Amino acid sequence: MKKLFINDVLDLNNCAFIGGEDYRHLTRSLRIRVGENFIIEDSLGKEYSCEVVSINSNFVEMKALSFFERKHSKNFEITLYFPVLKGDKTELILQKATEIGVDNFIPIITKNTVIQLDKQSNKLKRWQTVLREAAMQSGRKGIPTIKPAAALNEIPAIQPNERGFIGSFNGIRWNDYEKKFADIKNVAVIIGPEGDFTPEEVSDLKDKDFTAINISDNILRSETACIFFVSVLSMFQ
């Protein structure tokens, strides 16, 4: 079912009024009609099954009919530290990883990072739009967060209720890793740039209790590694 996010609080039998970019998307791209159903998530994170009750020249009115109950709840959050890549590869990572279920995104700066984030505020604004659109398209719970770029030495150490992984061709094979996620609140994944991490960077991250993991016998592109790794983790949700 189609999904929308609003910045207001919604209650049963009350109406949400959808304007702005969402209004244009609903009326021009989706060409919605009165009687169609949507899921709306409000500013408190509550989800409602809603019905379109009217459409005018400025907004779409949707009435909350019932609470929307999800069949499954997530066991842990996923945080993805991702490389900034050339072209539209970064947006591909954000879009697909959002659909899969990543909760937090943080771009990383490494010794082999090629793309310089000299206009980071503009990048973040665009990336937030990508995340929101992907969350709406996939009907997932919540819009992921994205933070400003961090250097590897700014990444915090893994805590007892967390797990941390580094994508590394020389790491432990995923099939050989003892997968225990009971009572884990967050799983952090760090994927390197096209030039990979330096041995010193991997060593520093291991000192913070990150585990180097090889998820494939093949050499994966950075964007493929991001999408593949979080897909594997989502199987334990």
> What pLDDT does residue 54 have?
96
Percent of the chain with pLDDT over 70: 97
pLDDT at residue 21, as a whole number: 92
| pLDDT of amino acid 118 | 61
pLDDT given at position 225: 97
pLDDT score for 116? 66
The confidence score (pLDDT) of residue 119 equals 56
Task: Identify the pLDDT of residue 121.
Answer: 65
Starting at the earlier edge strand, list the strands of the sheet with 15-18: 3-5, 37-41, 47-55, 60-67, 15-18
Q: What is the pairing mode between strands 104-109 and 77-83?
A: parallel
Which residues of the chain register pLDDT less than 50? none
Which tens digits make up the pLDDT trace of 61-80?
Answer: 999 999 999 888 889 999 99
User: How many residues does the structure list for the chain?
Assistant: 237
Q: Pseudo-torsion of CA 226, 229, 235, 236, nearest 10°?
A: -110
